[in-house]
Amino acid sequence: MVKITKKDLSISVAETLATTKFEGKSAVNAVFQEIEKALTEGKTVDITGFGKFELVNKPERDGINPFTKERIVIPAQKSVKFRPSKALKEKVN
């Protein structure tokens, strides 16, 4: 499996926009920062044709410490969920 890094995205954006690598990196960082900001404010980020980032609440649950086999309580927490758009699903398949 080949992975694409943030650096690879920055270079690709720079080439697409016919600009410098620094400006490509700035553009990618700006997009990620806005997604992060919206999620920390409890908002859903819906990018048409790509997908939706949303917060989900995971309730408190029981678990087992794998080292000591002791029962523990895993506290409730928020998590980010990504749902790909129908268009993205079709392109991938």
Residue 24 CA: distances (Å) to CA of 8, 12, 47: 10, 8, 20
Residues 34 and 77 placed together within one structural domain of the fold: no
Do 5 and 22 fall into the same domain? Answer: yes
The one-digit pLDDT tens for each residue of the chain (93 residues) are 889 999 999 999 999 999 999 999 999 999 999 999 999 999 999 999 999 999 999 999 999 999 999 999 999 999 999 999 999 999 999
pTM of whole model > 0.75?
yes
| Count: domains in the chain | 2
Question: Which DSSP helix (H) or strand (E) runs through 40?
Answer: helix 21-40
Q: Are strands 71-74 and 45-47 parallel, antiparallel or unpaired?
A: unpaired
Same domain for 80 and 56: yes
Q: Are residues 21 and 57 in the same domain?
A: no
Residues 19, 39: one domain? yes
Q: Same structural domain for residues 70 and 87?
A: yes
Considering the domain architecture, whether residues 59 and 37 belong to the same structural domain is answered as no
Domain that holds residue 87: 44-93
